[in-house]
Amino acid sequence: MKFVHMADLHLDTPFTSLNEVEGLGEKRRLEQRKVVKEIVEYIQKEDIPYFFIAGDLYEEGYARESTISYINGLFQTIPNTKIYITPGNHDPYLKNSFYQTYPWSPNVHIFTEKLEKIEEPECSIYGFGFNDFYRFQNPISELKLEHPEKINICITHGSLEGGTEDRQYNPMTKGELKRIGFDYVALGHIHKTNYGEEENQTIFYPGSTIALGFDELGEHGILVGDITKTKKQIQFIRMDPKQYVELPIDISKDTSKEEVIEHIQSVSLEPQNLYKIVLVGTRNFEINTLELLKQIEVENIIKIKNKTKIQYNLETLQTENTLKGIFVRKVLEQKANYSEEYMQNVIEIGLDALTGRKE
């Protein structure tokens, strides 16, 4: 059986991290719509019979009916493809959610919080999702497959063997999923793909369909599967032409804010990507990253992070009759009680604060 597996698109998310650049958030939301269109066109071209959407299709509280109408219209163009959606923690199956109130295309099936099994000629599909923004337990721990001879699919949204915080997001373990015997587990919630992590893999996160911020570096897209009971062919297809990129730049040799600006603007960047410049090294002048960002004439640099350290002449500073001088003298009086590294960190943080460093 052939299928496409996607998750975590978060349609109409506000993209607050992009708001520093006027219009960029709205542009990114248009790119979300475009990627759904491209996925549907791929399904149509390849004649794929199943489309699994494993949660967080849209952003509850921000999603507009016009957006839902748009994607539903796309779903109507592939009437022979069966579309299975499991609600996630960002688009739960709430009483007034679009999952309950919108007239979806007949080829769309939306799971609820209750475990449901749907029999298809070539497979059994199990699914369940969120009916609130949290889900502390899942209903599959005692599940036994009714037709183990068929291809058995599970579609849900949740955390897999996560930490304490993740236990509120439909926690599961690899052990229980493998014990049940699913041939493919289509998950959502983790925004990084785990494709190719292990041999004979059956549990998959496709990752977020397009990157949502600088905590989601690398390529983003969908998984395409062609599986039988004895063979699996899974392929990752990149759908997002953009990548969020963190780029470190050492400014130790720059002697002024103007040289830093020239240094940043001289770096070769890929025009389609979005960049966070991370300043590293040492400096002996004040840096205001917000002011730097305003003065840099490179549109796809949208953030600057300052991780440099200031070079101080402590012998000179401690003789000054200033707040900095008083601070350095007081700290150095305690140097016998602490390690050199600790003292350096204290001086760095304190003088940095007195200098008025901003990020």
User: Where are the domains positioned within the chain?
Assistant: 2-238, 244-355
Q: How far apart are CA 176 and CA 205, in angstroms?
A: 17
Low pLDDT (below 70) residues in the chain: 20, 162-165, 355-359
Are 136 and 167 spatial neighbours (Cβ–Cβ below 8 Å)?
yes
CA atoms of 8 and 197, how far apart (whole Å): 20
pLDDT at 310: 75
Torsional class of 68: left (φ above 0), alpha (ψ -120 to 50), beta (otherwise): alpha
- pLDDT of res. 355: 67
How many C-beta atoms surround the C-beta of residue 131 within 10 A? 16
Q: What is the pLDDT of residue 359?
A: 42
What integer pLDDT is reported at residue 163 of this predicted model? 59
Whether the Cβ atoms of residue 243 and residue 276 lie closer than 8 Å to each other: no
Contact 345/310 with Cβ under 8 angstroms? no
pLDDT at residue 166, rounded to an integer: 76
With beta carbons less than 8 A apart as the criterion, state whether 54 and 188 touch: yes
**What does the pLDDT read at residue 162?**
66
2-238 CATH choice from 3.60.21.10, 3.30.1280.10, 2.40.10.220, 1.10.510.10: 3.60.21.10
